[in-house]
Structure 1
Amino acid sequence: MTDILERRPDARPRPARLWRPRRVLVTPAALEHAHGRAMAERADAEGLPVERLASNRLTAQKGDPRRVYAEAKATLAIVVAPPSKLKLQPIPPSADWRFDLAEGCPAHCQYCYLAGSLSGPPVTRAYANLDAILANLRDYVGRGGVTSASPERAAEGTTFEASCYTDPLGIEHLTGSLSAAIRHFGAWDAPVQLRFTTKFAAVAPLLDLPHRGRTRIRFSVNAAPAARYEGGTAPLHERLAAMGAVAEAGYPVGLTLAPILPVEGWRGAYDALLTEAADALARVPAPDLTVELITHRFTPGSKTVLEGWYPGSDLPMREAERSRKFTKFGSVKYVLPADTMREMRGYFYERIGERLPFAKILYWT
C-alpha cells in the first residue's frame, strides 16, 4: 500500500473541511472510560469549548424549533451508550447487524432519513464505552440473516453496519472511533466485515490502517441536481476522490446511490455521476466495488420533522405523487410510483453494467 501511494503522490486526497461543533458536552460516566477521556482530550486539543457536565443527563433545549435544531446540530455530546445499544438489530438489506459508534450526524440533508427516527433534538452523541461495543460483536458472528445466510453474499462473512444512525467519518477527527473499529475488524480472526456509508471525504487517517480488507467503505452519492439537498457534506468530487484513495489503499469500496430522485433530466444526471465514479476508480485494477440503490421515501412523521427543520425546501414530498405502502411494522411510507420505480430500476441496472462493469449491485429498494 505504501508503495502505491509513493508511486502516485496525488493518490492521497486533499485535506477535507472538518466539522467544528460549537459545543462539546461530556458526561461524568463518559469520563470513566478511556475512550471517553480521549475524545474529550481531542476536543480540547482542537480548541473547542468543552463543558464537563455535572450529571449524565443531557438537558433538552426548548423554544423556537429552528433555533433548537441549529443548536443541536452544532453540539457533540460524549456519552455512554445505553445497554439497549448492545442488543443488536438486523439491518436488511444492507447487513446482518447494525451497531452504533455514535448517534446523530453533523450534515444538513433535507431528506435525512433519521428525521422521525431519533427522539429529541438532533444532537450528535459519540459513545465512550467503545471497548464494550466492539467486544459485544463476537456474540453475533454467524447468526445474521442477510449475508451470513445468503449464498450470493456469503463471501462477505457476518456483516456489521456502523452507519445506520450516524456518519462515522464525519465525526472521526473528534472521536477516533471509526479507526478503532477498523483496527478491531482487521485483527479479528473470523469471517466478518465492517461496513459504513459516508457523505464526507476525510479519509486520510484511514489509509494506512491495518484493515486487511475487512472494512467496506461506501460513499453515499447523488446526481448533481440533488446537491442542494445535502448541506454540510463534502462535495461530490471530493467524495469520489476519497473513494479512489481508499480503493488504492486496498479497501473494498461501495457506492450508495441515495436517495434516488426523478429530478429533471435524471437520466443524464445519473449517467454523469456513474461516469465520474468510474473515472475515480480508473487507476485501481479490478476494484472490489458494490452498489446499493435506494429510492427516496418518506413517512408522515419524517415529513413533519423535515419541514420543521428545513422550511421552504422544494424537496418533492407530495403524497398525491407517491405510492402509499406499509413498513414491516405496519406504519405508512410514501415511495415512488410503481411505473417510475420500474423505469428507473431498468435504467440504473443497464447504465451501471456499462459504466461500472466490475461492480456488484447488492439491491434496489
Structure 2
Amino acid sequence: MLDVRTIFHEAAVLDHPRGRAVLERFPDAERVEVRAHQEIPGLYGNPGGVEDWVRNKRQVLVLGEKKSLSARPNGRSSDFIAPSTSNGCAMACAYCYVPRRKGYANPITVFTNIDRITGYLARHVERQGSKPAPNQCDPVDWVYDIGENGDCSVDALVSDNVRDLVDLFAGIDGAKASFATKFVNRELLGWDPRGGTRVRFSLMPERMAKLLDLRTTPVPERIAAVDDFVEAGYEVHLNFSPVVVHEGWQEEWRELLRQVADGVSAPARAQLACEVIFLTHNEALHEVNLGWHPRAEEWLWRPDLQEPKVSQSGQRNVRYRTPWKRRWVEDLRRLVEQELPECRIRYAF
C-alpha cells in the first residue's frame, strides 16, 4: 500500500511528537521542507502529475498542521464533520471527490497537532449535552465523522492519529466517532473502541469494484471483516456507495446483498444499518481520469443518464437525472428489504 520515499513537511511539524514519530517511521524517506502543506510546487495543481497519479499516492507523504478547527453540522451520515486529522488517500478510487481540491495529486497529508484536535473535539462534545431526540445519524449518540477527507484505516498505517480518536470516543458518553473505509486494517482489531466508533465498510458489486475501487481491499474481504470488527467492540454499518447505474446493475446489487447475508453472522446483521449513495461525478475529475484510467470513465461519465449540478463550492458535477434516479433509489431500497431485511437504511439518495 505504501512505499514512502518523499515526505514534504512544514517546519512546525518537528515541534509535535506526532510529527517526529511519523518521520521516524519512515527513516529512509527524503525530507523536503515546504512553506505550507497545501502549496507544494510540482505536486498540487500540476497537470503533468496525472501521469504519476498512483505513484504519488504510494510514494509521497505530506505533513502539516491543521490551522483552523471546526465541527461542521452534517445531518446525513453524521451529526458533525470533525476537524480533519488528515486528507488524501493512498488508494485510487476513480470516483473519489477528494482530489478535486488538490488538482492532479492526492497523497496522504497527516496533521501532526493531534492534541489540539482531540482537545477541541472533547470540548465540542461537552458543549452539546445529551442528544435531545433520535435522528437518522443515531438514536442516542452525537455522531462525528472523523474521515471525511480520507480513509482512516489507511491513515492508521502512517500515524497514531486514528487510534487517538478511537481512544477519545471510547471514553466519552453520548458521542461516537464514525468513518467509512474500503481497506481492512486488522491492526484496528487490537484497539479497545468500547462501542465508541462506528466503522462503515463501503461496498459495491465486485465487478464494478475491480474497475473503480483501485488499490482497495477486495469486497469479499471487507464483508468477511464485519464479524471480526463487531466482536472487537466496533459498531459496524455498511456504505452502499457509489451506486453506478448500467445495464443489469440491479441484479449485481442483489448478488452483493446475498453475499452480505450469507457472509455476516446473525448478531452482526442485527446491528447493521446502511447508507445508499448514488454516483455523483465531477467534470474536472473526469478530465483527470482520462489521463490515467479512461476505462473507468466509460461507466462514470454517462451524459445519456446524467444531468449537470453545480455544487455549493461552484464545482461542476453531474448526477443521474432526477426522475430516473428517484425510481432507481426505490429499486435499491426494495432489494435491501428483500435480501437483507435486518439492515436498516439510514438514508438513501
SS at the partner of 2:11? coil
From 40, 53, 64, give the equivalent of 1:80: 64
Q: Greater shift after overlay, 303-312 or 106-115? A: 303-312
TM-score between the two structures when normalised by the length of structure 1: 0.83
Give the letter aligned to residue 155 of structure 1.
P
Matched with 1:216 is: 198
2:170 matches 1:186 = yes
Pair 129,339 (structure 1): closer, same or farther in 2 beyond 3 Å? same
Question: How many angstroms apart in 1 are the aligned matches of 2:284 and 2:110?
Answer: 25
Cα offset, 1:78, TM superposition: 4.4
Identity of counterpart residues, as a percentage? 24
Matched with 2:274 is: 291
SS at the partner of 1:155? coil
Question: How many angstroms apart in 1 are the aligned matches of 2:248 and 2:56?
Answer: 36
Choose between structure 1 and 2 for higher RCO, CA contacts under 8 A separated by at least 6 residues. Answer: 1
Cα offset, 1:60, TM superposition: 2.2
Matched with 1:231 is: 214
From 54, 64, 80, give the equivalent of 1:97: 80
Q: Please list every run of 5 or more consecutive structure 2 residues that lacks an aligned counterpart in the other structure.
A: none
Cα offset, 1:64, TM superposition: 2.5
Pair 74,63 (structure 1): closer, same or farther in 2 beyond 3 Å? same
Question: How many angstroms apart in 1 are the aligned matches of 2:196 and 2:227?
Answer: 17
The answer to whether the 8 Å contact 1:255/1:291 transfers is yes
Question: How many angstroms apart in 1 are the aligned matches of 2:147 and 2:225?
Answer: 17
Give the letter aligned to residue 21 of structure 2.
A
Q: Which has the higher helix share?
A: 2
2:144 matches 1:165 = no
SS at the partner of 1:344? helix
Pair 273,66 (structure 1): closer, same or farther in 2 beyond 3 Å? same
Cα offset, 1:324, TM superposition: 3.1
Question: How many angstroms apart in 2 are the aligned matches of 1:245 and 1:219?
Answer: 12
Cα offset, 1:332, TM superposition: 4.3
Matched with 2:41 is: 60
Provide, for residues 306-349 of structure 1, a one-character-per-residue CA deviation record: whole Å limited to 9, x for no partner.
Answer: 33443343233133421333434565432112343233222222
SS at the partner of 2:99? coil
SS at the partner of 1:319? coil
Q: Please list every run of 5 or more consecutive structure 1 residues that lacks an aligned counterpart in the other structure.
A: 1-17
2:290 matches 1:311 = no
Matched with 1:14 is: none
Give the letter aligned to residue 334 of structure 2.
E
The answer to whether the 8 Å contact 2:201/2:239 transfers is yes
Pair 130,300 (structure 1): closer, same or farther in 2 beyond 3 Å? same
2:180 matches 1:201 = no
Question: How many angstroms apart in 1 are the aligned matches of 2:31 and 2:90?
Answer: 21
Pair 128,341 (structure 1): closer, same or farther in 2 beyond 3 Å? same
Question: How many angstroms apart in 1 are the aligned matches of 2:104 and 2:52?
Answer: 10
SS at the partner of 1:170? helix
Aligned residues: 339
Q: Greater shift after overlay, 231-240 or 344-353? A: 344-353
Matched with 2:101 is: 117
Cα offset, 1:132, TM superposition: 0.9
SS at the partner of 2:277? strand
Question: How many angstroms apart in 1 are the aligned matches of 2:201 and 2:164?
Answer: 20
Matched with 1:41 is: 24
Give the letter aligned to residue 118 of structure 2.
L
Question: How many angstroms apart in 1 are the aligned matches of 2:135 and 2:58?
Answer: 44
Give the letter aligned to residue 167 of structure 1.
D
Give the letter aligned to residue 58 of structure 2.
A
Cα offset, 1:166, TM superposition: 0.4
Pair 287,25 (structure 1): closer, same or farther in 2 beyond 3 Å? farther
Pair 51,148 (structure 1): closer, same or farther in 2 beyond 3 Å? farther
Pair 152,165 (structure 1): closer, same or farther in 2 beyond 3 Å? closer
SS at the partner of 1:333? strand
Matched with 2:240 is: 257
Cα offset, 1:244, TM superposition: 2.1
Give the letter aligned to residue 93 of structure 1.
R
Pair 285,125 (structure 1): closer, same or farther in 2 beyond 3 Å? closer
SS at the partner of 2:157? helix
Question: How many angstroms apart in 1 are the aligned matches of 2:299 and 2:58?
Answer: 23
Question: How many angstroms apart in 2 are the aligned matches of 1:364 and 1:205?
Answer: 31
Give the letter aligned to residue 43 of structure 1.
F
Q: Greater shift after overlay, 240-249 or 21-30? A: 21-30
Give the letter aligned to residue 96 of structure 2.
C
The answer to whether the 8 Å contact 2:276/2:347 transfers is yes
Cα offset, 1:230, TM superposition: 1.2
